[in-house]
Each structure stands twice: as structure tokens, then as C-alpha cells.
Structure 1
Amino acid sequence: MGLLTVIRHAQASFGAANYDQLSPLGHRQSEALGAAMKAQGVAWPDRVFVGEQVRHRETFDGVARAYGADVEPEVHPGLNEFDFGGLLEAHEKSESLPERTTGDRAAHFRQLKATVLAWQRDEISSPPETFAAFVGRVQDALEAARGADSVMMFSSGGAISQMIRLVLNAPADQQILLQLQMKNCAVNRFVQGRNATYLHGFNETPHIDALNASEMLTYS
């Protein structure tokens, strides 16, 4: 049996011109996770993968630095997040939607949910990526973890929640519901057998305790 650990990126720069970089808090979260893993005796994995987003690599860098691991990760495009901005633009062209908001977290996540559900139902014309293609590349990332005793991956909430949905054989609409629950720098674990993969842990935050929760617990 192999252990696959999939970590959501730490807090990115929500509302900034460039979302795809960690915030100052995000850097602290990633280092806190690496330190917690080291303190708890978690063994460094045999292989490490990151997606192509900057926030994936920066989260890996913080975790590895605090843990004391000097390794170079492999890059797998299956771990990339779906293009929500592109999907929203295509959704707006497909039907009349309210004017998008910037900086309002609640409105942003309402738009995200509505757009992803429409995408899953093939109701968005000319999306930047079809939902079927997204599912396929996430499945490829899951398969890339096979053959090693332990693998760690750094990704985003959409791709990770899709992994979980596939492993649980849940309906497609469960992906966005899982995604909206996922905390920054959260740890998700799978056990991979010869013929099946099982969910072993969801949305865990070992770097958060009662003393630092007010700062470290974030969702966006």
C-alpha cells in the first residue's frame, strides 16, 4: 500500500493584481506545516510533485525549508487548478450574469459555485478547458503516485477536491462543495492499493493549534 499526501497551497494573494503568489501569511503557513511535520515525525516522502502554479511551488518551498529537506519536486500539470477567471468569462458570454465582484469573498465564492456547476453540466460554451479534460488530468495525477511507498503533492482546492470526488465515486457536484470547505495549507491523505485508492484523511491542518488558530486558519 502506498501513502499519497496532497497539500493545498497556503494562502495566496486574494484580491491582488497577481493572485498566484503566497501572501506573507501564506509563507508562514507553509513553514509552520513543514515544522509541524518534522516535529510529529512524519517521514519525508519518496517522491514529491507540484503543479505549475507559483503558489504550489512556494508552498512546497516553505514546507521543505522548515522540514529541512533539500529536494527538487517533479512538476505534473494534472495538479494545476482550473482556470476560474476564464470559465467565468465564458459563463458570462453564455448567459446573462450579474456583474462580477472583486474583493468580496462571499460574492466571489457564490460566483465560483454557480460557474463550476454550470461547467460540469456542459452549459458553458467554449470554456478554456472542458470539465471532462479537467477530470482526466486530475486522474492522471492520481495515477502518477502509484508505484512509490510515499508521495507528496502540492496543488489547489479544485484539483484536490476532484481527486477526493473521484476516489469516493461521488457525483460531480460534490467537487465544488468539497472545494469550498478546504482550508489553506490543508493536508489530504490517500491510501493506494493495487486495485483501488481510499481516502484516509481530509482537510487536516497539523500546523494549527489553539494558540495560533485566529491567525493561521484561512480558506482563501
Structure 2
Amino acid sequence: MGSIYLIRHGQASFGAEDYDVLSSLGERQSTLLGSHLAQTGLRLDRAVSGSLTRQVHTGRLVLEQFGQAPALETDAAFNEFDAEGMIRALLPALLPSEPQALDVMRNAAHNRDEFQRLFVNLIDTWVGGDYDAPALQSWQAFLDQVNGGLQRLLEQAHGRERIAVFTSGGTITALIHLLTGMPVASAFAMNWQIVNTSLSCLKFQGARVTLASFNSHAHLQLLNTPSLITYR
């Protein structure tokens, strides 16, 4: 069987003007993962990243730790959904019941718990489809995007190929939902537990794909440094 290693990007710049940049910790997490995988003797036949900066940078830092590594390709199908666009589109309808929401979102780094609570509320609305925002990519369209990327991988794969995919938490959540049939709410409950630079493994044989492991982050746990383990 072949293997697809879904790797979440390193810590990004939450609360900064540009989220789509790895923090210094995110860079370290990525380097640690690459070193760990190389030490285990893993050999990669192919490496694919979404086109977002944090995904590509993670991929490059990981692959630099290998003596021999495939060139990093990009496929925007593995991009994260547009969280900022979703917030802009859906937040106004939330303000009557959550008048503080705008201030929380503007100062997310200082209101992490409240941000998460409101973000989950917005995700529920987005997934449920009960809104009027034609320009916003729907949950179903996002699922189709991610599934398209997976199908391209499978169509191009050969036998026991080992493929690394550098992506994001929402993309991994969509794949888990698609492959297991897990309810969306349950899949997103798992989403909030996905650690930066964690590794989830899919096994495939032809067009058949199964989830083999989820959210492994031994490369961080073994260092016994809790500050290395982040979720955003």
C-alpha cells in the first residue's frame, strides 16, 4: 500500500497583520519534524504543498532535513479555507447577539478563548449553509476542492509511493470527514486538537483510501518542552 502523510503547517502568526507567515516557533517546529522523519529513515517519493506561504515554508524546512528529498510541488487544492473571508461575511449577523465580537476578532491574540468560541460559532454557520454570502466559498465547495486534490494524488500515484502533503487543519478535517463519513461537527471537534506540524497518515491502494493515524507529534513530545506544542 502507498502512504500519504498529511502534515499541518508550523505555527503561523496568529493575531499579526499577516497570519500567513510562520512564526520563529513555527520554523523550529518544521525543522524538528524534518529531522525526526529523516532519523526514522522515512524516504519520500513525492512532496506536495498547498500554495499558502505557511504551507510552502513548512514543506521547504522539513525537506531540507533530508539527505535526499523530492522537489516540492504545489497544488492549491490543499489550501486552507478562507477563514478571514468567512469571518468578514458571517460576523455581521452575529453582532446583535454578540456585540463584543468585532472587538474580540480585532484583538484575537489577546482574546484567544473568546476568539475560539466565536470562531466555532461562525464555523457552525458556514458548514450549515444558513447564510446569504454568495461570494463566500461554501463548505461543500471546499470539500470538492480538497477531494479534487486527493483524487489527483491517487490518479498520479504508483504502488507503494510515499507522499508528503503540507497543508492545514481545515483541509485535514475535510479529508477525515470525506474518508470516514464522520459527522462534520465531530470532524471539527477533532480539528481543534490538530497540533502544528503534526502528521496524519492515509494508506491507499488504487482508489481505496483509509485513515491510518491522526495528529502524531512525537517529534515535539519527545523534547519534553510543552511550549513547542501549539494549535494555531
Q: TM-score range by the shorter chain?
A: over 0.9
Map 1:93-112; keep pairs closer than 5 Å. 93-96=92-95, 97-98=98-99, 99-100=101-102, 101=104, 102-103=108-109, 104-112=111-119
Distance 2:152 2:186 in 1: 23
The gaps in structure 2 that reach 5 residues or longer are none
Relative to 1, partners in 2 of residues 1:150 and 1:53: Cα closer, same or farther, differing over 3 Å? same
User: Contact between 2:46 and 2:70, CA under 8 Å: does it hold in 1?
Assistant: no
Distance 1:131 1:166 in 2: 12
User: Contact between 2:45 and 2:70, CA under 8 Å: does it hold in 1?
Assistant: no
After superposition, give the CA deviation of every residue in 1:86-130 in whole Å (9 maximum; x if it has no partner): 111111234434423121221222122111111111112215201
User: Contact between 2:38 and 2:66, CA under 8 Å: does it hold in 1?
Assistant: yes
Distance 1:108 1:137 in 2: 27
Amino acid at match of 1:141: G
- Greater mean deviation of Cα atoms: 9-18 or 174-183: 174-183
Q: Which residue does the alignment assign to 2:62?
A: 63
Q: Which residue does the alignment assign to 2:47?
A: 48
Q: Which residue does the alignment assign to 1:175?
A: 187
Give, in angstroms, the shift of residue 209 of structure 1: 3.2
Distance 2:75 2:221 in 1: 32
User: Contact between 2:35 and 2:62, CA under 8 Å: does it hold in 1?
Assistant: yes
Amino acid at match of 2:114: A
Give, in angstroms, the shift of residue 195 of structure 1: 4.1
| Higher helix residue share | 2
Normalising by structure 1, we get a TM-score of: 0.93
Amino acid at match of 2:194: M
User: Contact between 2:202 and 2:212, CA under 8 Å: does it hold in 1?
Assistant: yes
User: Contact between 2:10 and 2:30, CA under 8 Å: does it hold in 1?
Assistant: yes
Distance 2:183 2:90 in 1: 22
* RMSD after superposition: 1.6
Amino acid at match of 1:152: A
Q: Which residue does the alignment assign to 1:122?
A: 129
After superposition, give the CA deviation of every residue in 1:18-66 in whole Å (9 maximum; x if it has no partner): 11010001111100000001111111x2221111110001101110112
Paired residue total: 219
Map 1:122-161; keep pairs closer than 5 Å. 122-126=129-133, 127-146=135-154, 147-148=157-158, 149-161=161-173
Distance 2:205 2:17 in 1: 43
User: Contact between 1:11 and 1:23, CA under 8 Å: does it hold in 2?
Assistant: yes
Give, in angstroms, the shift of residue 69 of structure 1: 3.8
Q: Which runs of 4+ in 1 moved over 6 A?
A: none
User: Contact between 2:46 and 2:71, CA under 8 Å: does it hold in 1?
Assistant: no
Distance 1:205 1:93 in 2: 37
Map 1:192-207; keep pairs closer than 5 Å. 192-207=204-219
Q: Which residue does the alignment assign to 2:35?
A: 35
Amino acid at match of 1:61: R
Give, in angstroms, the shift of residue 135 of structure 1: 0.4
The gaps in structure 1 that reach 5 residues or longer are none
Distance 2:67 2:171 in 1: 27
Identity %: 29
Amino acid at match of 1:164: I
After superposition, give the CA deviation of every residue in 1:142-187 in whole Å (9 maximum; x if it has no partner): 1122123221100010011111111111112223212111000000
Distance 1:69 1:33 in 2: 15
Give, in angstroms, the shift of residue 215 of structure 1: 2.8
- Greater mean deviation of Cα atoms: 94-103 or 46-55: 94-103
